[in-house]
Amino acid sequence: MSTPSPAFGVRARAVERAHVVAPVGELDLLSVEEVRAALAERPEDCDAVVLDLSGLTFADTSGMRLVIETLQDLRQSTTRFALVRGRPDVQRLFAMARMEDRLPFFDDLDGALAA
């Protein structure tokens, strides 16, 4: 468990009243905590949380677990949750788990913010 994920990073920023978290690289068991922390940093009064998966080159069930966890957390609040679709490899994970239809996916950030 000592090898860090190759070139992984997370960018969190505010766009209007949305908290946008954009991980870049491979999202797996090693890197998922960074994204979890970035999501947790959202302001109390933000309208929406957007997880932008477009920068990911890979995701495993750890990432999926984080997505579901976030979805269920926010379901109990007034904060909206939106996802920006990742590359086909990444989307395959959600497709395989039959999660694509169950999650608020958008093609791009504008769509995710506008919804």
Residues 76-105 touching another protein, rule: CB under 8 A, are 96-99, 102
Task: Please report whether residue 106 would count as binding another protein according to CB under 8 A.
Answer: no
Task: Please report whether residue 29 would count as binding another protein according to CB under 8 A.
Answer: yes
Q: Which stretch binds another protein (CB under 8 A): 17-25, 41-49, 53-61, 106-114?
A: 53-61
Contact assessment for residue 21 and residue 109, using Cβ atoms and an 8 Å cutoff: no
How many of the chain's residues bind another protein (CB under 8 A)? 18
**Binding string to another protein for residues 58 to 77, with x set by CB under 8 A, is what?**
x-xxx-xx--xx--x-----
Binding site for another protein (CB under 8 A): 1, 3, 28-29, 58, 60-62, 64-65, 68-69, 72, 96-99, 102
